[in-house]
A and B are shown apart, each in its own frame.
Chain A
Amino acid sequence: MAKLHLQILQPVQMKIDAEFDHIIVPGVEGDFGIYAGHTAFITQIRPGVLQLYNEGSIEKYSIHDGFVTVENNQVNIVCEIIEKYSEIDESRANNAKDRAEKRLKKSKGNIDFRRAEAALKRALSRLEAISKSD
């Protein structure tokens, strides 16, 4: 079967540059799977779990933002924050969650609110990732 070539680009590095059979991406309008031969497509990514399947093995990443483009079996993901499950620091995520919750209570409807909300979403998706991987 034809393979998908995946590149995950971050501002600080090229995280992944490899071939996979099947990829599941958390899009803003729902998770979707990509196989070889997918139509040309762009979507925004919501915080969630990115799953990469290759020859029976699966790699899971916690992804927080960005875009995915599919074109001619070439999949590009550009994102600022992505972590492999094993790289997530649980206590740090917990602290971030508490901090964001406190800020949310204090500020309503301004810039800080939206930032705290984004931070809370990130923390929650990290924690979710940890609880699933156990």
Chain B
Amino acid sequence: MANIRDIKVRIDSVKSTKQITNAMKMVAASKLRKSQDRILKARPYADFINTMIQTLQFKNKHSEHPLFEENPGDEKKALIVVTSDRGLCGAFNSSIIKEASNYLKENSQVDIICIGKKGDDFFKKHDYNVIKSYINIFNEMDFSISREIAFNIIELFTIKEYDKVEIVYNEFKSVIQQNIILKQILPIVPIEDEDVPLVDYLYEPDDYTIMGELGAKYINVDIWRILLESSASEQGAQMTAMEAATDNATELIATLTLFYNRARQASITKEILEISSGAEALK
């Protein structure tokens, strides 16, 4: 059996690890609240743009805009992979990478755009065609980042580089549940909404221009929402992982303390034996 001092050292080290994991859990919880709050705040804006697009599409079936049309041709696609920048969040990144890898098996000619360091590391290491990466954006995230990403994607799509642009990310369901979503970003497919108000608007300058601008705004806010969802999921996954780690540490400390007490007891018993047998010998 290990000696008392060794056990004592291990207990201390586990205790400090537990403190760290516990702190990380708290940090994740507070960041999660912030992300959730931002998701809620983005919703009215996104809903409004979605409704407008539907109203316009309903009225002008014939004036289609390139952002809403598939580029016919060579089946070339782009896949955006949203992972996190840092680890310690359970299966969050590995499940995304798995899903993306499956997609890459099914589709040839796919260029990858990585958001988050983990995905970038993986796909570059395995020699996939990564054309663009956005790294370390989750720490200080604001809307201008999603606008930049959206701008680049739209640019690539409109010069007819790609047939379709799709994205794979973690959707936030709850702290313990994240769903992996694979969805199409471009061409735009507005969410079907039952009660679209059909207002007969006057357009200025014209519906084609407005459609293009609305489309661009739609993608901006869609990317923004996805980044927020992914960030909230990451914090959720991290909270769960850190809670499990804290629980494990607590359990480990209990076991080690038991060993420690046993060892201490044994050494005391041994000392008493020695003293009493020493006293016996002197008689």
Contacts and interface: CB of A to CB of B under 8 A. Distances in A.
Interface of A: 9-14, 27-29, 39-44, 66-67, 69, 71, 76, 78, 80, 111, 115
Contact of A11 (B200, B202, B221): B221
B253 interface: no
B44 A67 contact: no
B215 to A, nearest CB: 12
Interface size class of B (residues with CB under 8 A): 20 to 34
B151 A44 contact: no
B16 interface: no
A39 B205 contact: no
Interface in B34-61: 38, 41-42, 44-46, 48-49, 52
Contacts of A115: 151
Contacts of A12: 38, 41-42, 142-143
A44 B147 contact: no
Given A80-B147, A80-B220, A67 B204 contact: no
Contacts of A76: 48
A63 B199 CA distance: 26
A121 to B, nearest CB: 15
Interface of B: 38, 41-42, 44-46, 48-49, 52, 142-143, 147, 151, 155, 197, 199-205, 209-210, 213-214, 217, 220-221, 224
8 contacts: A9-B48, A12-B142, A13-B41, A39-B202, A43-B205, A71-B199, A78-B217, A80-B143
B203 A42 contact: yes
A29 B41 contact: no
Contact of B201 (A11, A41, A111): A41
B60 to A, nearest CB: 12
Given A10-B45, A11-B221, A80-B220, A40 B210 contact: no
A9 B202 contact: no
A44 B210 CA distance: 7
B209 A44 contact: yes
Contacts of A69: 52, 201
Closest 5 CB pairs of A and B: A43-B204, A9-B45, A42-B201, A41-B202, A40-B201
A27 B199 CA distance: 20
A40 B151 contact: no
B39 to A, nearest CB: 11
Contacts of A43: 203-205, 210
A69 B142 CA distance: 26
Contacts of A13: 41
Given A12-B143, A67-B210, A115-B151, A42 B202 contact: yes
Contact of B42 (A11, A28, A66): A11
Contact of A78 (B48, B143, B155, B209): B48
Nearest to A8: B45
B204 A29 contact: yes
A40 B220 contact: no
Contact of B205 (A11, A44, A66): A44
B48 A28 contact: no
Contacts of B201: 40-42, 69, 71
Nearest to B202: A41
B205 A78 contact: no
